[in-house]
Every structure is written in structure tokens, then in C-alpha cells.
Chains A and B, each alone.
Chain A
Amino acid sequence: MIPPQVRDLIYILAAILFIFDLRWMSHPRTALRGNYAGVLGMVLAIAATVFSQSLDWGTMAIGVGIGGMIGLVAALKIKMTSMPEMVGILNGFGGGASVLVAGAAVIAAVSALSGSAVETVSLQTRVATVASALIGSVTFFGSYVAFGKLAEFLAVKWKLYTWQKAIKYGFSLIVIAGAGWYGFAGGIQPHGAGSNEGVMGIAIIVCGLLIGGILLRKKARFPGMDALKGVSFLASIGVGVMVVQQPENLMLFWVLAATAGVLGVLLTLSIGGADMPVVIALLNSYSGLAAAATGFVINNTALIIAGSLVGASGVILTNIMCKAMNRSLTNVLFGVMGPTSETPDADEVYKSVKSTSADEIAMMLDGVQRVVIVPGYGMAVAQAQHAVKNFAALLEEQGALVEYGIHPVAGRMPGHMNVLLAEADVDYDKLREMDEINAEMEQIDVAIVLGANDVVNPVARTDPKSPIAGMPIIDVDKARTVVVIKRSLSPGFAGIPNPLFSLDNTLMFFSDGKDAVQEMITAVKENL
């Protein structure tokens, strides 16, 4: 048995290891070592915990066994292209765990105090419990929605695969059934005069029906959504204050988790694909803050330190993502992005679009010095990263310098493109940040845009009335020649036409990303 003092010292050691984990993330060479430090810190913290008092190993083993298996299989099976969904759902489990720990702690504390001594539940514990339930529940339900939208089974009109249906309907059913059972068992059945358990039971059932019902819809928006967002926000705060006042009221705790759940669903549901990087980063931050709040509930320094590190990390990433879109966080969470009345007509903009073929591109690429490839979400969808790498290698054999211009919000999560290109074995030195590559754009012979649209739209620089005005973009239009690989002229997420496509120095290659790159490889080889 480890004495508590030693346990606390081990917690500090674990916290230091976590800090080194994040510190070593500052370079790809040391990052792997950082991850090992994190694992070591986690193992130490867990070992110190379970050996510090006599615990029932059987119960703990059930949870660790099931969770470990799920985590292991999911992490090994997941494809690199599905990484945004994976990160999204993992955030959710973190948030969910925080709610459950806080809930279990409240039950334990209340039963230990037995009724009259409730005043001795410290204010810290009360406030932290509320924070934990509120943030944790928003994170859990928000992450589920983010996961569902990224895996394309929530708020979509098309037919779903069986596994998607199973998750979609299964989740809604569990939420409704769970809320219904708890609402009836704990609330609606009369427990005695003067109790307002009935009201709370109904509140839980209503929240469950709202969450379950909204998630079954095929559209992301519905009338009154913003009003409901506001109501659920105010309700969560109000119930939170009540929980602080009556921490012994277990049912109220679950009412809080339920209203916060509605809020989490509504906040994430209306957010479109291009804003996903912001949301993923934000939920990441929340999962950390929820863990920190739980640390305050059970007075555990390891949780507080680890949680606040993660919270800070998420805040920074969120901020970077918002800056890269020139939008405020409020605007991302509450605003709608789309064409304004002054948006120019697409037919007018696309009058002088020139279409090209792989052979023409191959001829043009003959003898070029510098090529930059600007990937977007389209590359991820087409899974074209390996083909891109082969194409780049071919050009490099002919003496060209091939680099990649990465926009911070390209893809569906921070660093999405970098991970895909790393999977294809592209050297990380070749992945250039937006500002760096923009400074050299005039020396670029050919810029190849692959499945990106809004992040290369020059309107952001030129038209102050455009919905993307002021958003930093990759200035491919300043390169000598631009090749845009795209399936059609359909607009990007912002819903506005892109004048880049009809510039004199732009050639459009209409095709699926992967097919296009493969055709280009063949054509360049023939041209040798």
C-alpha cells in the first residue's frame, strides 16, 4: 500500500511527464518520445491511485477491460482519413467520463454525509460538480454530434449504411429510454408531499426526447433552433445554480446533465463542415476543462493539472482556427455562413473558365522549377494522398522542387492535411505554412489546387462584402500558372463562386482527385 504522500508525489511526477509530452510535441523528431512520456505519466498516475488504498479490483477490471478493448480495436482499425471522427468521438468519451465521475462522487458524498450534514459539502465541491456536469455533458453530446456529422450519418438526407443506422437510431433510443426510465422511476412516481421530483422527472424526459428527436432529423437546422439554444443555455445555468444550492439533490444533478446535453447538441448540430476544425478544437478544450473540474470535485491535483493543460491546448487551437477563418468564436457557434444578396452570379464569374486535360498539364509541367500543391478536404475524400506523393516524386525526379501549401483550416480538423500527407510518407519539411508559402508565391511556376476552394478564393482579399472577406487565403492566383483539380464548379462551404477558376492563368481539370492525379502521373511519364 502506497501512503498518500507518496501517491501525491507520484501525481506530480505524472504531471511533469504530461508537460514534457506536450513540450516534445513541438518537433516531429521528438514528438514520439513525448507520447511515450504521456503514456508513462498515465501509467504512473493509475498505479499510484490503485495501490494507494484497498480497492475492489474486480469492478475496476470490468471497466478497464471493456474500455481498453474498445479503445485498442478502434485505434488500430481507424483509417487515417477518418481521424477527425476518431478525435471527435474520443473527446466525447473524455467529457462523458467527467460527468459520470462527478455524478458518482456526488452520490458517494451524499450517502456518506447522510442527510442533515449536507452543509458540510464544501462550496468548492458544489461549484466544481456543476462545472463538471455542465461542461462534461456539453462535451459528450457535442462530440457525438461532431462525430455523427463527420461520419456523415447525422443531419443528412441520403441513405445510410447499416452501421450508421445502428449508431444513429441506437443512440437516440438509448437517450430517450434512459431519460424516460430515470424520469419515471425517480420523478413522476410520487415520493411524498412537497417534493418537486415530478417536475424534475418531466424535465429529464423532455430533454431526453429533445436530444433523441433532434438527432433523428435529416436537417441540421429547424425553426426556433436559436431560441431553443438560448433557452437550454439559460436553463443549464439556472439548474446549475440550483445544484450549488442543493448538492444533495441527486436528481437535480441529472437534470443539469440533461439540459447541458440539449445545449451541446444544439451548439454543434448547425455547424457546417468547414467550421469543424474550430468545433473539434473547442470540444478538445472542454474535455480538458471538464477533467479539471472533476479534479476539483474529488480534490485530485493530477486531474486538475492534466485537465488545465488540455484546456489551454484546446483554447489555443480554437483561437488559431478562428483566426485562420477571420471569424470570432461566437460567429462560428451562432452565425450562419452563406451567400449574401450581393454575391455575384456564378455564371457571370465562370464565363471564361478554361478546362484542361492531363496531357496538357503534363506538357506544361515539363521543365518547371517550382511546384506547390494546395490540398483541401477534397484530397481526403478522394483519398488521393498516396497518388499525390507519387506524382510529386515523379516531378522531383525531373528536377522540380515540389512543396505543399497547407491552410490552417484545410480539412476537418487542425493539421488534417499534414497527417494525410505524413501517411503517404511526404517529408514534413515540404509542408509549408500559409504565410511562408505566400511570401514565395510569385516564384512558383505551377500551383496545383487539389480539392480546396474557399481557402484559395481571392475574393477574401478583394471584396470586403463577401462572407469570407478578410479570411487569410493561400494566394495561388499569384503563381504563374494555377491548375485546379475539382469535380465541378460547385461552390465551397461559403456558397460563393470563386473567381480564381476563371483567371487567365488558371486551368481547370474536372475530375475526381485521385483519378486526376493518376492520369497526370501517366501523362507525365509518357511525356518523358
Chain B
Amino acid sequence: MELFVGALTVFVLAVFVGFEVITKVPPTLHTPLMSASNAISGITLIGALLLAGQIDNPQLSRTIAIVGVTFATINVVGGFLVTHRMLAMFRKKK
């Protein structure tokens, strides 16, 4: 239970930080914001890696986790890279 309250505290505070930070993002950057935050949500990758890599996990669990690793990696790599491509365009100034 204590563990849960701790985790919940973190969750609630992070939501507030998110609200504070993101209201300051101008509409011009809304698309890169989405693709960047999307890449960040690919953080599930670390959960997937743990489950896929633990040798004493049942085979079924590890197999499912490998697919999870694949999905999350597409999310992370693709997300950060398209964000970079977009932001690089916004940056160049004459």
C-alpha cells in the first residue's frame, strides 16, 4: 500500500508539471510536441526490455515482451527522429 501511495503521488505531481510546462508551448510547435511526447511515452520500452530479458520468465511472457520491445522501439526511434526532422526545419533562419 505504501508503495502505491508513493507511486500515486509521483503520478499526480507529474500530471501537474505536465500541465504547467505544456500550456507554454505555442501552437506552431504542437505537432513536434505531439511526436516528442509520443516518443517519451515509448518509455514502456524499459518495461518491455526487463520482461523480455529476464531468463527465468516463462517463455510466453518473454515472447510477448519481445513484440512489446519491437513496438516500443519503433515508437521511441521513430518519434524522436521525426521530431528532430521537424524541429530542424523550424530552426533554419535566413
**Using a CB–CB distance below 8 Å, which chain A residues touch chain B?**
15, 18-19, 21-23, 25-29, 31-32, 34-35, 38-39, 41-42, 45-46, 49-50, 53-57, 59-60, 62-64, 66-68, 70-72, 74-76, 78, 80, 83, 86-87, 90-91, 93-94, 96-98, 100-101, 103-105, 107-108, 111, 122-124, 280-281, 284, 287-288, 290-292, 294-317, 320, 406, 408, 413-416, 418-419, 422-423, 425, 427-428, 431, 433
B62-93, CB under 8 A of A: which get 1 and which 0?
10111111111111111111111111111111
Q: Are A288 and B37 in contact (CB under 8 A)?
A: yes
Query: By CB atoms of chain B within 10 A, which of A67, A122, A433 has the most?
Result: A67
Q: Are A423 and B89 in contact (CB under 8 A)?
A: yes
**Using a CB–CB distance below 8 Å, which chain B residues touch chain A?**
1, 3-4, 7, 10-12, 14-19, 21-55, 57-58, 60-62, 64-94
Q: A67-B73, A107-B60 are in contact. Are A408 and B15 (CB under 8 A)?
A: no
Q: A71-B78, A104-B62, A422-B86 are in contact. Are A413 and B33 (CB under 8 A)?
A: no
Residues of A within 8 A of B89 (CB): 80, 419, 422-423, 425
Q: Are B40 and A431 in contact (CB under 8 A)?
A: no
Residues of B within 8 A of A66 (CB): 70, 73
- Rounded to whole angstroms, the CA-CA distance of A303 and B79 in the bound complex is 17
Least CB distance from B92 to A in Å reads 7
- Which residue from B22, B40, B60, B65 sits with its C-beta under 8 Å from A306? B40
Q: Are A63 and B48 in contact (CB under 8 A)?
A: yes
Q: Are A26 and B82 in contact (CB under 8 A)?
A: no
Q: Are A71 and B64 in contact (CB under 8 A)?
A: no
Q: A22-B37, A101-B47 are in contact. Are A93 and B61 (CB under 8 A)?
A: no
Q: Are B52 and A60 in contact (CB under 8 A)?
A: yes
Q: Are B17 and A86 in contact (CB under 8 A)?
A: no
Q: Are B18 and A75 in contact (CB under 8 A)?
A: no
6 residue pairs of the A-B complex, CB under 8 angstroms, read: A38-B36, A55-B49, A83-B31, A93-B74, A308-B12, A422-B86
- Rounded to whole angstroms, the CA-CA distance of A151 and B6 in the bound complex is 43
Least CB distance from B94 to A in Å reads 8
Least CB distance from A175 to B in Å reads 14
Residues of A within 8 A of B21 (CB): 19, 22-23, 26, 309
- Which residue from B7, B25, B32 sits with its C-beta under 8 Å from A301? B7
- Rounded to whole angstroms, the CA-CA distance of A312 and B64 in the bound complex is 28
Q: 3 tightest A-B contacts by CB?
A: A67-B73, A63-B69, A312-B18
Q: A26-B24, A94-B72 are in contact. Are A422 and B65 (CB under 8 A)?
A: no
Q: Are B46 and A305 in contact (CB under 8 A)?
A: no
Q: Are B31 and A28 in contact (CB under 8 A)?
A: no
Least CB distance from B69 to A in Å reads 3
The total of interchain contacts (Cβ-Cβ below 8 angstroms) comes to: 387
Q: Are A305 and B73 in contact (CB under 8 A)?
A: no
Least CB distance from B88 to A in Å reads 7
Least CB distance from B58 to A in Å reads 5
Residues of B within 8 A of A301 (CB): 7, 10
Residues of B within 8 A of A59 (CB): 52-53, 62, 66
Residues of B within 8 A of A104 (CB): 48, 51-52, 57, 61-62, 64-65, 68
- Rounded to whole angstroms, the CA-CA distance of A39 and B78 in the bound complex is 12
Residues of B within 8 A of A96 (CB): 68, 71
Residue of B nearest to A74 (CB): B78
Residues of B within 8 A of A302 (CB): 43, 46
Known: A70-B78, A104-B64. 20 other contacts (CB 8 A): A25-B33, A35-B32, A55-B49, A55-B54, A60-B49, A60-B69, A63-B67, A74-B78, A93-B75, A101-B44, A104-B61, A284-B34, A284-B38, A287-B38, A304-B14, A305-B14, A316-B23, A414-B27, A419-B31, A423-B89
Q: A75-B78, A301-B10 are in contact. Are A291 and B33 (CB under 8 A)?
A: no
Residue of B nearest to A324 (CB): B27
- Which residue from B16, B53, B85, B93 sits with its C-beta under 8 Å from A60? B53
Residues of A within 8 A of B74 (CB): 67-68, 70-71, 74, 90, 93
Residue of B nearest to A14 (CB): B43
Q: Are A422 and B57 in contact (CB under 8 A)?
A: no
- Rounded to whole angstroms, the CA-CA distance of A71 and B46 in the bound complex is 17
- Which residue from B27, B40, B65 sits with its C-beta under 8 Å from A42? B40
Q: A18-B40, A25-B32, A26-B25 are in contact. Are A427 and B77 (CB under 8 A)?
A: no
Q: A96-B71, A415-B28 are in contact. Are A105 and B51 (CB under 8 A)?
A: yes
Residue of B nearest to A312 (CB): B18
Q: Are B3 and A124 in contact (CB under 8 A)?
A: yes
Least CB distance from A135 to B in Å reads 11
- Rounded to whole angstroms, the CA-CA distance of A76 and B33 in the bound complex is 18
Q: Are A38 and B66 in contact (CB under 8 A)?
A: no
Q: Are B18 and A317 in contact (CB under 8 A)?
A: no
Q: A71-B74, A101-B47 are in contact. Are A122 and B37 (CB under 8 A)?
A: no
Residues of B within 8 A of A105 (CB): 47, 51, 61
Q: A87-B35, A303-B44, A427-B93 are in contact. Are A56 and B81 (CB under 8 A)?
A: no
Query: By CB atoms of chain B within 10 A, which of A32, A281, A433 has the most?
Result: A32
Residue of A nearest to B84 (CB): A35
Residues of A within 8 A of B65 (CB): 63, 100-101, 104
Q: Are A303 and B47 in contact (CB under 8 A)?
A: yes
Q: Are B25 and A22 in contact (CB under 8 A)?
A: yes
Q: Are B70 and A414 in contact (CB under 8 A)?
A: no
Q: Are B33 and A22 in contact (CB under 8 A)?
A: yes
